[in-house]
Structure 1
Amino acid sequence: MNRLAAQFSLIIANDNRSGGTHHVEEAALDWARHVLHLQNTRPASQHVRGRLYALAAAFTGSALWAAIDGGRLDRARHHLSEAVALAGLSGDPAIQFRVWGHAGALYRHQGRYANALAADEAAKRTRAARNPLYASLAHARAAVHHADLRNRQAALRSLGVAEACLNRADTEAPRPAWLRFYDSAEFHLLALTTAGTLGLWEEAEAHAHHTLATLRPDLRRNRALTHAYLAHAQIGQREPELAVATASRIPAEARHGRTAHLLNTFGHRIHALAPHSPATREWFETELL
């Protein structure tokens, strides 16, 4: 079990560093298959079987997340079905919470915002959500999905609840490897996403700066995403030069998946705002190199 848990932590670390690459997805799937092979070939107590199903669900959930992050939504749909089934068999409320969170992310990328919000509600109903840290994450994600549905009041209310829960949480208590990413920096990244979707550009920029100031160095994918969202917020405030400077800080190796999509949309927005600006010309010339 300890070796499997260590491999899962390695998958999480690779995802934090590089984002949703094929390598992360396939490595997670290989370990999920290995765990299920153990489940089917080794005698074990019910308790051990539950832990093995939880690990299989965890690895499959990481494959699901990598596929979502990389924009491979057809593969993500397949992984979701397997992850939901394995999480149910595990009886582990924390794993069930995680899988519902990933389901919400997939539905959002599919444009199925009501389903994403329903996934948030399912996460809130797990026993894990009695913990303020889990509850905070669920409410922060719900804020993003309320914003997608253009329900500003509900989005801002959910952010308020998420922040209050985070303030009550014992952030020093032990937590699963997959939940170590959630802290004040991640809360503000979700708040940045919410504010940007609602067109609250000044608020979005403030959240972005908070995230960048407190984000752990190993969360490179999230740093790239934050810079991309910040560049959008600066375009929203009609600051093309500053926006290009921000977007240009994103390293080439991070420009894939969600970050690449945001930068592509950024290009359209800056051209629409200032088609003849030197900053716009600089951006497109750099992109062609």
Structure 2
Amino acid sequence: MGANVILKARMDELGLNQNELAERLNDALAVITGRPGCIGDRTIRNLLNGTSRRPIGRTCAALERVFGCPVEELGFGAPRSTHHPQEDAMRRRTFLTSATGAATSPLVATRRAVGMSDVDRAAAALRALVESDDRQGGHAALEKDALAGRDGVLGLQSRNASERVRRALFALAAEYAAIAAWSCVDMRQLGQAQTYLNESTAYAGLSQDAPTLMRVWVTQSLLATQRQAWTEALAAAQVAHASAAARRDPFFASLGRVRVALAHSSLADGRSALRSLGVAQEMLAKSTDLERPRWAAFYGSAELDHLGAIIYSRSRRYAQAEAFAHRSVARTPPSFRRNRALATAQLALAQLRQGEIDQATATAATVFTIMGGDPLPGRMRSLIGDFHRDLFTLAPSTTYARDWADRMRTEWS
């Protein structure tokens, strides 16, 4: 006699613990018999540890209803009175479901429960979208794919699922909606981005997942900054920094704190901004290698240096901004092409504002090389536009400015 590893695997697939399985079995018995079931912890333990290899008839019926398969497929032997040929499993399953009133149509009878394998597949598709964003930035196809992913995981909510699986699906819906929002931020479609982000916030709350909630508030802060709603950006950043994810993990604490620093710099509070930046650096140094959501992979020492360059630039400390941007460009992995191009644009701006016209124009030109001919996202176009305007304000008649203007016409066309 040994543990029933098949049943345990099926429970894990549906995200059920022992108490939840007992509740689901009792609910099934109430439908089958018309009376509440009385299955408790002891029964579940016996089913799992191998003590019960041939459960009684009503327990078998409840197991088949919950898992949608014959008890033989759960590692049990059926009572002889209810034994059925293996080849008739689907027909019997359909009859059982219809006879107990669980289905109103033939399609529902064959609809299986949603499990963690469904969550894993949806998460894999989500990772592919995050990687696309890392390479290219926001674009219309990314927004469309993110919305299709959101609709897909929400559609799974209509099927039978455990509480754990439902929360995971809501977390994925929040992340898909956040990608759509982020794509619109990158494309400078800020009104649409806010609509998607409001959806993401609602789904994140339903998920009760701390990192997902953290992501929502970080994105809220970034979107408010793009809208130039400075006090709103600070408030959202402070919520992110006070979140459960930030309290538990120095990595997320650093991410929240640097958003606070950026918000202070937008409000021209340079002292508070630099103090918060220092805290963000300290917290990131304390973080350890843990498994975190794929969306968080963008953040690390390279991105912190990139954001530090922005903070120093807003404080008009351009030499420090240049140093931070240099480090960011050197540290950013090639797979994060969009972020590397953004840091390069910040580097060019810092050089230009120190009067290094020739070096600045050469640096700015590499943004197009990094992006490999892909269209620049709206946020990056805005930065390049800032560089172009400042260049022709500082040195409109130089050879460097004329060469840059020729490059701009070529790239923009």
TM-score range, shorter chain: over 0.9
Q: CA deviation at 1:254?
A: 5.1
Which residue is equivalent to 2:387?
266
**Counterpart Cα distance in 1 of 2:216 and 2:322:** 30
**Structure 1 residue ranges (4+ consecutive) displaced by more than 6 angstroms after TM superposition:** none
Instruction: Please state if 1:162 is matched with 2:162.
Output: no
Deviation digits for residues 3-28 of structure 1, max 9, x if unmatched? 11101110110000000111111111
In structure 2, give the amino acid aligned to 1:282. Answer: D
In structure 1, give the amino acid aligned to 2:212. Answer: I
3-state DSSP of counterpart to 2:161: coil
1:4 to 113, 122, 127: 122
**Counterpart Cα distance in 1 of 2:177 and 2:326:** 33
2:314 to 192, 197, 222: 197
**Counterpart Cα distance in 2 of 1:255 and 1:2:** 32
Question: Retained in 2: the 8 A contact 1:139–1:159?
Answer: yes
**Counterpart Cα distance in 1 of 2:341 and 2:348:** 11
Which residue is equivalent to 2:261?
143
Q: CA deviation at 1:224?
A: 0.8
Instruction: Please state if 1:72 is matched with 2:193.
Output: no
Which residue is equivalent to 2:290?
173
Q: CA deviation at 1:255?
A: 2.4
Which residue is equivalent to 2:409?
288
Deviation digits for residues 23-56 of structure 1, max 9, x if unmatched? 11111111001111111x2011111111110110
Unaligned runs of 5+ in 2: 1-118
Question: Retained in 2: the 8 A contact 1:224–1:254?
Answer: no
Higher percent of residues as helix: 1
**Counterpart Cα distance in 1 of 2:144 and 2:309:** 31
1:15 to 133, 148, 154: 133
3-state DSSP of counterpart to 1:134: helix
How does the TM-score come out when normalised to structure 2? Answer: 0.68
**Counterpart Cα distance in 2 of 1:38 and 1:167:** 40
**Counterpart Cα distance in 1 of 2:407 and 2:384:** 13
Deviation digits for residues 237-284 of structure 1, max 9, x if unmatched? 011111100011112425231110001111110001011111111111
**Counterpart Cα distance in 2 of 1:140 and 1:122:** 13
**Counterpart Cα distance in 2 of 1:99 and 1:62:** 10
**Counterpart Cα distance in 1 of 2:323 and 2:258:** 17
**Counterpart Cα distance in 1 of 2:391 and 2:242:** 42
Instruction: Please state if 1:82 is matched with 2:203.
Output: no
How does the TM-score come out when normalised to structure 1? Answer: 0.97
Which residue is equivalent to 1:28?
146
Which residue is equivalent to 2:230?
113
Which residue is equivalent to 1:210?
327
3-state DSSP of counterpart to 2:335: coil
In structure 2, give the amino acid aligned to 1:255. Answer: L
Question: Retained in 2: the 8 A contact 1:140–1:187?
Answer: yes
In structure 1, give the amino acid aligned to 2:133. Answer: D
**Counterpart Cα distance in 2 of 1:272 and 1:20:** 30
2:169 to 52, 57, 74: 52
3-state DSSP of counterpart to 2:367: coil
**Counterpart Cα distance in 2 of 1:32 and 1:81:** 14
Q: Which has the larger radius of gyration?
A: 2
Question: Retained in 2: the 8 A contact 1:136–1:165?
Answer: yes
**Counterpart Cα distance in 2 of 1:286 and 1:176:** 39
RMSD, matched Cα:
0.9
**Counterpart Cα distance in 2 of 1:200 and 1:70:** 29
Percent of pairs with identical residues: 38
1:237 to 334, 338, 354: 354
In structure 2, give the amino acid aligned to 1:215. Answer: T
Q: Which protein, 1 or 2, shows the higher relative CO under an 8 Å CA cutoff with sep ≥ 6?
A: 1
